[in-house]
Each structure stands twice: as C-alpha cells, then as structure tokens.
C-alpha cells in the first residue's frame, strides 16, 4: 500500500518531519511518499495561502495519477484541509484531510475535545471545519498559541510550553482530548500527552491511520454526484515538488519538475510566496543527472 502525503506549503524541513511522524504509525506494509511544492505558499496562514495550497494539492495528485502506480490513498497534511473536496473529485481512492481525521478520532477518544493551533487568524477556518464535520457539540474550545507555522520547524521548549499551556487550559475547561491544529506539531504528540495528562491527537497520524484503514476495507471515494470526476480537467501553474521519498525517517527531500516529469499539468510557474527554508544538507534534485527515480513498494524500506 502506498500513501501520498501532501504538505501543501514549500517547507522541505517540515515535510521531512511530517513524513517521519507518518511513518511512525504506518503499518509494515504501508509505504509513505511525502511531497511538497517547490513554489507556492511558504506557510498556510491566510485565505490567500489556502488558495495556493489547494492548487498545490491538486497538482500533486494530478502528477501522481500520471504514474504507472498511483497511490492507494492521499493525505492532505495541512489543518485547513485545503483542496479536500476538489481532490476527492479526481480519484476513487480515499482522500483524508488531517483536521477531519483528527476531529473524528478525538470524538471517539473522548466526549469533548479542544483544538490548539497556531495563529489567531486561522481560528475562523478551524471554526468552519468544526461545523462542517459536525463537531459543534464535541469541540469545546479553539485556542491560538500565536506561534507562526514555520517556527514549528524547530520545536524548541518555548513552542512546546506554549502549546502545553493552552492544552492544559482546554482540559481544565472540559476537553477530554486535545487536537493539534497544525501538521508542524506532529512530532510533539507523545510529549504533550505526557505533559497535559489527556490524550493528544496529531492529525497526520490520524489521517494515515484512517486512510490505510479505508484501503484495507476496500472503501474509497464515492463517485456519485458531488465527487464525480469533473467535466473539465484541472489546468494550473506549473510548479515543482519536493519529495521526502520512501526511505528511512528523516530521509533526504527531492524536487521534481511539475510534480514529476510526466505530469500532465501545464501553465506558468506559481509566483513564490516568501522565501523557502534553508534546504537540508542531503537535499537532492530529482530529474538532474544525479537523481534516482522514486522508490517503489517492491524495493523500498518499509516502515512500521
């Protein structure tokens, strides 16, 4: 089973961290491929960023469908679940957003949950998603830490302490479970559970578990009516993708032109939105002379 994990911001460091968290919960037969756009929104912190993120999600899936072995499921690793409905139009495979998965799992883990997220300007979107997913009774609080998304690339003690403080306040206010409202918090779940004293749900892990479970059940995306294949093919700016690959956790991140040389996406480059983070020392560029093709399930290390 192969799951394509899409981080719709351009941070390669965050993509590698999210991929490691996903591989930590994936079953022994699950291959995680993690990608992010090389151009677009550096962080998803506004409605404008979300439009770029949604386009990046659709481009990544469109390129994946051009492969001989498209993914068995797709995970959108951004708490705003950008492009979720459009992505479901493109495939019959499961498509899971991390906010949707985290809220549903939290509602099973406890009667009430609270969300702890990044900037206050994202609370409106979180509130909208709570309503969309039918969680108005289950969600008892939404709290913003004020931590910018990219600051979570290096989760020092200050960031962890801020998230912990808001989580403790949410628990004191009646939350049985805490939902982490950013994919960049994925590596903090275990530590925060111990600190806060109630279960803490990371949406990346929740979405990978839900997506892999759906594949095993033979449950995909309904093609009746709303999520039927759209009549017109998606055409957008041509971007590039950074690929965390299917190697060991923390493996190098690669960049593929147009989400892969065989992508059917056409157009002009997305304008860059802010500077990308400094690349990891082992970043490589796929499509160059020194690049290698993405590993396949048959020849890649499998993660449990």
What digits encode the pLDDT tens for the residues 103-116? 999 999 999 999 99
Co-location of 218 and 88 in the same domain: yes
Give me the pLDDT at residue 2, please.
98
Residue 292 lies in a domain: no
User: Does 304 fall in a domain?
Assistant: no
Question: Are both 213 and 94 inside the same structural domain?
Answer: yes
Count other C-beta atoms under 10 Å from residue 304's C-beta. Answer: 10
List of the chain residues with pLDDT < 70: 155-157, 236-304
For residues 176 and 94, state if they share a domain.
no
- The answer on 196 and 48 residing in a single domain is no
Residue 261: its pLDDT value, please?
31
| Domain presence at residue 296 | no
**CATH number, residue 217:** 3.40.50.12500
Q: What pLDDT, on the 0 to 100 scale, is given for residue 65?
A: 96
Query: What's the pLDDT at 304?
Result: 26
Domain containing 113: what range? 99-202
* Statement to judge: residues 63 and 122 lie in one domain: no
What is the percentage of the chain residues whose pLDDT exceeds 70?
76
pLDDT score, position 92? 97
Q: pLDDT tens across 186-222, in order?
A: 999 999 999 999 999 999 999 999 999 999 999 999 9
Same domain, yes or no: 259 and 281: yes
Domain count, the chain: 2
Flag whether 294 is in a domain. Answer: no
**Both 9 and 67 in a single domain?**
yes
pLDDT for 165: 97
Residue 244, pLDDT score: 54
Domain co-membership, 87 together with 215:
yes
């Amino acid at each position: 089973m192969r799951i394509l994990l899409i981080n719709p911001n351009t941070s390669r460091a965050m993509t590698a961290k999210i991929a490691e968290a996903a591989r930590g919960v994936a079953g022994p037969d699950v291959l995680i491929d993690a990608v992010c756009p090389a151009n677009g929104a550096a962080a998803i912190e506004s409605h404008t960023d979300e439009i770029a993120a949604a386009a990046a999600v659709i481009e990544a899936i469109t390129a994946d469908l051009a492969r001989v072995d498209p993914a068995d499921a797709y995970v959108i690793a951004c708490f705003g679940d950008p492009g979720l409905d459009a992505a479901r139009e493109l495939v019959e495979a499961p498509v899971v957003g991390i906010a949707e998965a985290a809220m549903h799992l939290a509602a099973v883990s406890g009667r009430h949950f609270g969300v702890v997220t990044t900037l206050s300007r994202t609370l409106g979107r979180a509130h909208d998603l709570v309503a969309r997913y039918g969680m108005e009774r289950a969600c008892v609080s939404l709290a913003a830490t004020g931590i910018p998304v990219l600051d979570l690339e290096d989760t020092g003690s200050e960031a962890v302490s801020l998230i912990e403080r808001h989580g403790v306040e949410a628990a004191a206010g009646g939350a049985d479970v805490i939902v982490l409202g950013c994919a960049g918090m994925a590596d903090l779940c275990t530590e925060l559970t111990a600190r806060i004293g109630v279960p803490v749900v990371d949406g990346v892990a929740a979405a990978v578990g839900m997506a892999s479970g759906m594949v095993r059940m033979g449950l995909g995306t309904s093609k009746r009516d709303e999520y039927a294949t759209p009549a017109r093919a998606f055409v957008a700016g041509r971007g590039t993708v950074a690929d965390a690959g299917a190697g060991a956790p923390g493996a190098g991140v690669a960049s593929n032109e147009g989400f892969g040389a065989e992508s059917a996406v056409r157009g002009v480059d997305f304008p860059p939105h802010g500077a990308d983070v400094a690349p990891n020392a082992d970043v490589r560029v796929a499509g160059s002379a020194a690049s290698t093709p993405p590993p396949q399930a048959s020849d890649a290390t499998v993660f449990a």
